[in-house]
Chain A
């Protein structure tokens, strides 16, 4: 998760990677997942966070978290 700690993330979901100079954007749900991963929370803990803040079923949240992690992997951030 070290790479995730290097990212500069603002509250609006703008993400800057100082190592590569690349920029990303994410939405509020993505931001929740990203902050959870940086805090080294487990996927099940992040599911709880999402379900606490958003109208979503745990099953859908879990599926989306797994999908989100795959996306981070494609950008070599995990």
Chain B
């Protein structure tokens, strides 16, 4: 009996050395047969593939680890859950159960938080666009609004005029903290004097009281000392406002940007090496507070971490639907999840685990998604053994941003499930069907047809 044919491979062994992918051959041979004790087989047979899976236990553990890091070092700490990172109701509810308030950046997110039961006073409203209606609503419900730009001053003063009394707001700053790229498009620049100009304008109007400062220095910040510089500048500015204008700063909101164990493309070191423990960040931040705050002054410290809290709690299970050899010799696979679901794969290289042991030699492979687009690549260069059709790949960490930035393009978005502390599995977002796609469309009466009839279609040149 003849043996099963497998295409010949000849691969140089480079284990033990750092390569440009920063990973060992074991990277590609990670096996995961379950998530929190629920087998991959069971998850896929019950809820289909592709499938997003969230671990409630991981989410709560991460929250408590981070909160403890800050709360044990500084007396007034509040987390604002960054809705844009993941605004599925179940995820937000877990964060609120843990004690987080809501941090939103749009009217839609604000409405989402309110509908979930979060009171206005427990919402931080950031973002570069807040419509006058949204501003009026948020301020009247007691939300903490952080002013993003000069034009918002006029909008907020109109609210104050309507109320006949001053409105309390925070202002958002941007600044040089020694990192690159410097995020400068949000808020008012501190270093150039732009922020102080805005404060002078606000003070002269007499309709707005500044009671908070906000800043978000960027995302995936690997240097904890950048936050120390941010805090130092914010505290000094707060006292300038107090001394010169009488504005008492009641809160410092230092934003988020703390990196998860995801791996940015182009990063040389593996995240386990490159990323500092959260305690290092907490230590630098609180140390800067104690060094610069005046004795007895402890403004509330808000943090808006998103990625750090949830990224590791999220997995995407996807299945190999086809195998192809590319003209350049590389092996490639077509999976049932693409950039439509893993939008962040443009920037991040995920850990890929297999649902089974597979014999065969590792080869660098390309994993394409199901989209009819050349750019639909969710992984390139990972060493994978020869995968059979039907093999399931588990991508992680994917908890941050993917289920908010995913797109509906030629495919339905899949089920999202949450594995609870007791191992129970709940669908927290149902797989879409055609009704979800069509329900907002309107087909004019004159364009309706029962069966396609092309006999009257014009022929020849297109006019």
**In the complex the two chains form, what is the Cα distance from A65 to B4 in whole Å?**
17
**In the complex the two chains form, what is the Cα distance from A55 to B11 in whole Å?**
23
| 8 Å CB interface, B1-60 against A | 2-13
Kindly provide the distance from the CB of A48 to the nearest chain B CB, expressed in whole angstroms.
Answer: 13
CB < 8 Å A-B pair total: 64
Pull 17 A–B residue pairs with CB atoms less than 8 Å apart, ordered by A.
A22-B13, A24-B11, A25-B10, A25-B13, A26-B8, A26-B10, A27-B6, A30-B9, A32-B8, A33-B8, A53-B2, A55-B2, A56-B5, A60-B5, A68-B8, A68-B10, A71-B329
Which residues on the B side are within 8 Å of A26 (C-beta)?
8-11, 361
A-side interface residues toward B, CB under 8 Å? 13, 15, 22-30, 32-34, 50, 52-56, 60, 64-65, 67-68, 70-72, 75
**In the complex the two chains form, what is the Cα distance from A32 to B11 in whole Å?**
15
- The SS class assigned to the A binding surface is helix
Kindly provide the distance from the CB of B58 to the nearest chain A CB, expressed in whole angstroms.
Answer: 36
- Give the number of chain B interface residues (Cβ < 8 Å): 15
B-side interface residues toward A, CB under 8 Å? 2-13, 329, 360-361
Which residues on the A side are within 8 Å of B329 (C-beta)?
67, 70-71
Q: Are A23 and B5 in contact (CB under 8 A)?
A: no
Q: Are A54 and B3 in contact (CB under 8 A)?
A: yes
**In the complex the two chains form, what is the Cα distance from A33 to B9 in whole Å?**
10
Q: Are A25 and B7 in contact (CB under 8 A)?
A: no
Question: Residue B12 contacts which of A22, A32, A68 (CB distance < 8 angstroms)?
Answer: A22
Q: Are B8 and A24 in contact (CB under 8 A)?
A: no
Which residues on the A side are within 8 Å of B10 (C-beta)?
15, 24-26, 30, 34, 68, 71-72, 75
Most buried by B among A33, A60, A64: A64
A54-B8 contact given A27-B361, A67-B329, CB 8 Å threshold:
no
Q: Which residue of A lies closest to B1 (CB)?
A: A55
Kindly provide the distance from the CB of B325 to the nearest chain A CB, expressed in whole angstroms.
Answer: 8
